[in-house]
Structure 1
Amino acid sequence: MTIERPSLRRNALLACVVLAAAGLAGAPVVPASPQAQPRVPAGQSSTPGAEMPATAAGTGDPWLDAYRDDIDTYGRQYRAAFVDELVRYYAAPRAMAVELLDNGGWRPGDLYLACAISQRRGRPCRHAVERFDPSVGWAPLLESQDMAAGSPDLHRIKRALVATYRRWARPILLDAGLQADFPDLARDPGNRFVAPDATAEAAVDGTH
């Protein structure tokens, strides 16, 4: 019986394959460079047709700005309760609120302020939403609505925010002006509260 030997050519090819594989195994793996992602300019969204406010400059009122940030936290953790507050107490269309939060890039704290400004002027929430320019922040819009820091109407928005926090059963720290408005709450240890208070409710209701 005759055994046919592999050809020299075939052996040479196999050797080349083995050597090439060994070389690849020992070589460092260089990942392919990912395609550069386009940078989304401030104030714009990666969603076509959606406007994304950047982290907006402040209102000029440090207390209100601090609680805008806290509203962001609450609104992201308790989306349903946050949207319900805007719909029930600030006459915001639910579909609009959800769209701005989900696809428009709006932060909860900024959307809350926009609806509060609009309500003080007897206008729908979209009134301030459409006039807000994230590149300049809140101060110019507030001034255009006669609600600059220290104004009576901006103080009323702050008082209304106290009522919102009571409905959320969320602790809040009152500034000097609000302590004067809510003396019973100001006497609370640590100036914080979570339970509804009839006196506070009457004080808040008296601002509308």
Structure 2
Amino acid sequence: MKRSWVRWSLLIACLAVSCGAWAQTVDRGAVSSQTAVAPPPYAAQTGDAWLDARLKDLNAYAPRYPDAFVDEIARYLDVPRGYVVALGQQPGWAPGDVYFACALAKALARPCREVVRARARDDEDGWRGVAERLAPEQRMPVQALRSLLRTSYAHWARPLD
């Protein structure tokens, strides 16, 4: 009986040491994988510093209030909610980009999908270039886009500056 107790004690001790070593390995792996992949800094490149700053701010707002963010785009920019959610899950689409694509579409009286496709084809020179290629006869509708953003910020009761 004494031998059996010693074996069980030894087995439990070995398992505890193994589990502890495994947990440390997992923890180190999680930390190193989190620090190894840093996203590049966000740059909307609309050609307007005020718009760029608001889009960067949306990247902080949307993760904290995802339902309000998605609802705003769906309701006031006339884009199906499911499309907004799916677009936000695509690699390379920050919340500011999702908002801007749909706001630009509204300002140009085009479907959001058309703007998204245009950006997918060529976004090398940022949103300004996307807008110029979509509507070469028009300038970037900065005032309309600013107005849409001001309205959204008012709906969220979020300060602009």
Q: Same fold (TM over 0.5)?
A: yes
Distance in 2, matches of 1:112 and 1:126, equals 12
User: Aligned pair count?
Assistant: 123
- For each residue in 1:53-88, what CA deviation from the matched residue of structure 2 results, as whole angstroms up to 9, or x when unmatched? x94451110010000000111111100000000100
Q: 1 or 2 for the larger relative contact order (CA 8 Å, sep ≥6)?
A: 2
Determine the structure 2 residue equivalent to 1:142. Answer: 131
What are the residue-to-residue correspondences of 1:75-86 with 2, within 5 Å? 75-86=62-73
RMSD: 2.6
Distance in 1, matches of 2:78 and 2:116, equals 13
Determine the structure 2 residue equivalent to 1:171. Answer: 159
- For each residue in 1:9-65, what CA deviation from the matched residue of structure 2 results, as whole angstroms up to 9, or x when unmatched? xxxxxxxxxxxxxxxxxxxxxx9xx9xx9xx9x9xxxxxxxxxxx944511100100
TM-score (structure 2 length as normaliser): 0.67
Other structure's SS at 1:58 match: coil
Determine the structure 2 residue equivalent to 1:156. Answer: 144
Determine the structure 1 residue equivalent to 2:112. Answer: 125
Distance in 2, matches of 1:57 and 1:164, equals 18
**Which one-letter code corresponds to 2:45 in the other structure?**
G
Determine the structure 1 residue equivalent to 2:89. Answer: 102
Distance in 2, matches of 1:105 and 1:80, equals 20
Relative to structure 1, is the Cα distance of residues 96 and 126 closer, same or farther in structure 2, using a 3 angstrom cutoff? same
Q: Percent identity?
A: 40
Distance in 2, matches of 1:172 and 1:62, equals 13
User: Could you say which structure has the higher helix fraction?
Assistant: 2
Other structure's SS at 2:123 match: coil
Deviation at 1:161, TM superposition (A): 0.8
Gaps in structure 1 of 5+ consecutive residues: 1-30, 43-53, 174-208
Distance in 1, matches of 2:100 and 2:123, equals 13
Determine the structure 2 residue equivalent to 1:73. Answer: 60
Other structure's SS at 1:106 match: coil
Distance in 2, matches of 1:65 and 1:119, equals 18
1:61 corresponds to 2:48: yes
- For each residue in 1:77-121, what CA deviation from the matched residue of structure 2 results, as whole angstroms up to 9, or x when unmatched? 100000000100011111111111123441111111110111112
**Which one-letter code corresponds to 2:139 in the other structure?**
M
Relative to structure 1, is the Cα distance of residues 67 and 142 closer, same or farther in structure 2, using a 3 angstrom cutoff? same
